[in-house]
Amino acid sequence: GAGVSQSPSNKVTEKGKDVELRCDPISGHTALYWYRQSLGQGLEFLIYFQGNSAPDKSGLPSDRFSAERTGGSVSTLTIQRTQQEDSAVYLCASSWTVRNEKLFFGSGTQLSVL
């Protein structure tokens, strides 16, 4: 596609439910990143992929968070048993390679946990 696409744009869920957030990177981009942006905070790194592998998962806040990427393209971030503190904007970005410093960002998913 023309840009990084994220869905859904907004998600409201109840505490304890599982959610899946989707990221469709720019075609041909091998590197894909997930960030979390909480109200009044900067961007917090979660995980990045090179192809289908995730060399750095150090930013995932707990074992309730997981991510996968299939076919070197679409990635899904899954949050199990959501908590209110998970409420944030989840941003995805992609680049040609991990050593290409120009990241292209999607518009994010606003997650609200009630």
Partner 1 sequence: AQTVTQSQPEMSVQEAETVTLSCTYDTSENNYYLFWYKQPPSRQMILVIRQEAYKQQNATENRFSVNFQKAAKSFSLKISDSQLGDTAMYFCAFVSYGGATNKLIFGTGTLLAVQP
Which positions touch partner 1 (CB under 8 A)?
31, 33, 35, 40-43, 45, 48, 55-56, 58-59, 89, 91, 93, 98-99, 101-103, 105-108, 110
The phi and psi torsions of 84 (rounded to 5 degrees) equal -65, -30
**Which CB sits closer to partner 1, 25 or 106?**
106
> For residues 73 and 67, what is the distance between their CA atoms, to the nearest angstrom?
13
The residue assigned the tokens 């720019």 is: 26
Shortest gap between Cβ of 42 and partner 1 (angstroms)?
Answer: 4
**Pick 80 or 110: Cβ nearer partner 1:** 110
Strands 109-113 and 10-13, how do they pair? parallel
